[in-house]
Amino acid sequence: YQRLIRESNSWLGLHHPNVQQYHGHCRGLGLTVALISPYRPNGNIMRYMSTTHCSRGDRLKFVKEIAEGLDYLHSEGIVHADLRCDNILIDDQGCALLTDFGRSKKIGVPGYCTTLFAGSTRHMAPEFFPEEGPGGGEVDLDTIFCMATDIYAFAMVCFQVFTGEKPFSNLRHDYHVINALHNLSRPEETTAVRDRIPSLVWEIMCKCWVQDPRQRPSAGEVVERLANVSA
């Protein structure tokens, strides 16, 4: 229930072509509270691309739209905090929409979930997983979740949109991914990846997933850089 209330509060008042619309909530379902938004039969972006031929240009368009939606959220002081392809829908016009604000937070507002969550490890920045040792092993989620962690996740979304593969798809378990992050590993620019991802996009991704969150670009800077990229 608290997650639904958080999601409702975060979603309320957001209006952008690349953010899923929110119409309100319904309490007339017994103990269940339902959030109301338009039905998107195309489903999430990976499902859509699995059933529709999408050129590299189409995928670039999606990435630009995702960046624009993220830039809007950040301009409203909202950290999405769970940016991944499962949470990006495609509307009837073939445009990308950010959705699922159940993990989102308003910058400067304390109070957040106390644990990390399953399903997102491959898109989570390395600062979520400090190595054990003096001062390591624990994180303050109120502090860690920030715009820079969204930017890291955006880079991983880009990788998946262009290649069709999850980040670190060669690693089976989440703890393997975490170990890879401790070793400063990132998805590799193989020949196959180079053929699918425009070189300028790869350069942007590399800036977005740098180890130091202070060195990552803002969403606005990403939008500006992507504007100069063609398929």
Q: Judge whether residue 190 has pLDDT over 60.
A: yes
197 by DSSP, 3-state: which?
Answer: coil
Answer whether residue 11 is part of any domain. Answer: no
Which residues on adjacent β-strands are paired with residue 105? 79
- Cα–Cα distance, 165 to 122 (Å, whole number): 11
Q: Give the count of domains, the chain.
A: 1
Is 126 inside a domain boundary? yes
- Does residue 153 lie within any of the structural domains? yes
Q: Is residue 163 part of a domain?
A: yes
**Structure token digits, residue 26:** 């319904």
Three-state DSSP at 91 gives coil
Domain span at residue 160?
41-226
Mean pLDDT (whole number) for 112-120: 56
Please name the residue ranges forming H helices in 116-212.
141-144, 147-163, 174-182, 191-196, 199-208
pLDDT tier at 117, thresholds 50, 70, 90: low
User: Which has the closest alpha carbon to 94: 56, 126, 149, 49?
Assistant: 49
Establish if 195 belongs to a structural domain: yes
> Can you give the C-alpha Rg of the chain in angstroms?
17
CATH code: domain of residue 91: 1.10.510.10
Per-residue pLDDT tens digits for 11-45:
678 899 999 988 777 776 666 777 778 899 999 99
Residue 27, domain member (yes or no): no
User: Has this prediction a pTM greater than 0.85?
Assistant: yes
CA nearest neighbour of 104 among 132, 71, 82, 72? 82
Asked, for residue 30, whether it belongs to a domain, the answer is: no
H helical segments located in the chain: 2-11, 45-51, 56-75, 141-144, 147-163, 174-182, 191-196, 199-208, 219-226
207 in any annotated domain = yes
- Cβ contact 228:203 at 8 Å: no
